[in-house]
Amino acid sequence: MTGKEEISSKYDDYSLKEVPKDSRYGFFNVFLVFSSVYGAIAVIWAGGALGYGLTFSQAIIAVLSGTVVLGILGSLTAAVGAYSGLSTYVMWRHPLGRWGGKVAGLLLITITTGIGWYAVETWLFGIVMSEIFPNNPFFSVGVAAIWGGILMTIMTYVGYRMLSFLSYFTIPFHIWLIAIGIAIVLALKGGFHTVMAAVPTSHMSLLDGISATIGLYSAGTIISPDISRFAKSAKDAGYAWFAHIIFLYPFLILGGVAIVLATGSYLVTNAMLELGMGVGVLLIIVFGQFIINTDNLYSGSLSLVNLIPMRREIASIINGVIGTAIAAYVGFSAGSSITPFENFISLLGDFLPAMGGIVLADFYIVKKYINKIQDPHKRYQFVPNNKYYNINIAGILALALGSIVGYFVNAGIPAINSLVTGFLSYIIIYYIINALGKSPEILPFNYEGGILR
């Protein structure tokens, strides 16, 4: 029995091989999917968290600064996905080696995004449902997280086609919700002057605001190849990412800031309900939460399949069950406290950018200038009967250094520190080992074709 017969299915979505050219989509489809899966309620919620600690003018600086970083990093990363046609974690086998890519995918994505971020989103779903329907046991935070997580896991089963289908409905609701919220704030709370003059309830430094802005989207930025591998061209993928991050992200997050500052409410969903937006909140939760968690589980399932070859939809169920259990536990123990959410996005901003820097360094610098592979379509190809490696020492050391710097160095912006350290250290380490006449890639294996194991 071949490897393809063992794990492939109609919902597998080319989890361990390149997406064929005839299964790819144009700019508009990729733009809508990017906008839907990453422009969900968590972005608006993060705006509320910023509004709780920053003035509106400070929030503008933080959001625009973070958006520029995310736009550049994400466009370059998305282009790599379109060039290779591979999922993020299969791609990581190049800068980290096969074993390194498997382990990093488990630690950085399966656990953090596929399970952790999914659990956070499911928990947020439970919070909002409990606010819309208070004093109802079925809609309590923990219980709503359970049945909501089950529904989200079922929707993940289909894969990219479900993401694409839902994207056509989700974006209008995102834009409508924030636009109406801002309009109500301006009409009932004294206009834009009230927002600009509002003093936040707590305090957050500007650097912390920038780090939170980047941290919130850092996971989505780095795993963007999971979506962009379906793009017809690298140009379509890069432009789709840049367009959605520049035009949608600031609007959603600053809308959340404005609503919280004007109402003085701690939680952005409470603020929306205070403004009489109950139906709107329910709609954005139903559409926004479901599609972003479909993507979280989707990426987590691809990562788990990369670690242990299996049918992708089975992997999504495994991650979904674990993530739902965590969300329910947090819901029953922490309730509506926003602290776990703030801590989680802060950790993402410390660790994940290092891997993004390593991928960019490997694809755009090392592969081109040291390995002399000029054609970008060939840099991350797996060619049958060619030799590849289980460990890339340069990548593993760079990932460790970038993560350490991002977590322990307090000066500057942790996410940027992590990204730059990963990028530069990978190039330097790879170059030094190569200059010494050695290869940073060790433990070779021969790829015989078909499904990547």
Count of structural domains, the chain? 1
Assigned domain for 153 exists: yes
Q: Torsion over CA of 370, 376, 381 and 383, rounded to 10 degrees?
A: -80
User: Does 207 have pLDDT greater than 60?
Assistant: yes
With tokens 């670690």, the residue in question is: 307
Residue 5 pLDDT class (50, 70, 90 cuts): very low
- pLDDT at residue 1, as a whole number: 32
Assigned domain for 386 exists: no
User: Considering only CA atoms, which of 253, 276, 310 is closest in space to residue 44?
Assistant: 253
- In degrees and rounded to multiples of 5, residue 146 shows phi and psi of -70, -55
135 vs 181, higher pLDDT: 135
Assigned domain for 140 exists: yes
Question: What is the percent of the chain where pLDDT is above 70?
Answer: 80
444 vs 95: CA distance, rounded Å: 14
If you average pLDDT over residues 44-71, what whole number do you get?
85
If you average pLDDT over residues 79-95, what whole number do you get?
95
- pLDDT at residue 33, as a whole number: 85
- pLDDT at residue 450, as a whole number: 75
- pLDDT at residue 437, as a whole number: 94
DSSP string covering 404-432: HHHHH--SS-HHHHHHHHHHHHHHHHHHH
Question: Does residue 28 contact residue 16 with C-beta atoms inside 8 Å?
Answer: no
User: Considering only CA atoms, which of 395, 392, 308 is closest in space to residue 98?
Assistant: 392
Ranked by mean pLDDT, which of 28-42, 176-190, 324-338, 409-423 comes out on top? 409-423
Question: Does residue 195 contact residue 57 with C-beta atoms inside 8 Å?
Answer: no
Note the pLDDT tens digit of each residue in 235-277.
Answer: 999 999 999 898 888 887 888 788 778 777 766 666 666 767 6
Assigned domain for 46 exists: yes
Please report, for the domain that includes residue 82, its CATH number.
Answer: 1.10.4160.10
Note the pLDDT tens digit of each residue in 364-422.
Answer: 999 999 999 999 999 999 999 889 999 999 999 999 999 899 888 877 777 788 889 99
453 vs 444: CA distance, rounded Å: 14
Point out which residues pair with 441 in neighbouring strands. Answer: 392
- pLDDT at residue 224, as a whole number: 92
Tell me how far apart the terminal alpha carbons of the chain are, to the nearest angstrom: 15
Assigned domain for 392 exists: no
Assigned domain for 43 exists: yes
- In degrees and rounded to multiples of 5, residue 201 shows phi and psi of -70, -35
Assigned domain for 105 exists: yes
DSSP string covering 324-385: HHHHHHHHHHHTT-SHHHHHHHHHHHHHHHHHHHHHHIIIIIIIIIIS----HHHHT---TT
User: Does 48 have pLDDT greater than 50?
Assistant: yes
300 vs 311: CA distance, rounded Å: 13
Assigned domain for 365 exists: no
Structural domain harbouring 146: 21-337
- pLDDT at residue 3, as a whole number: 43
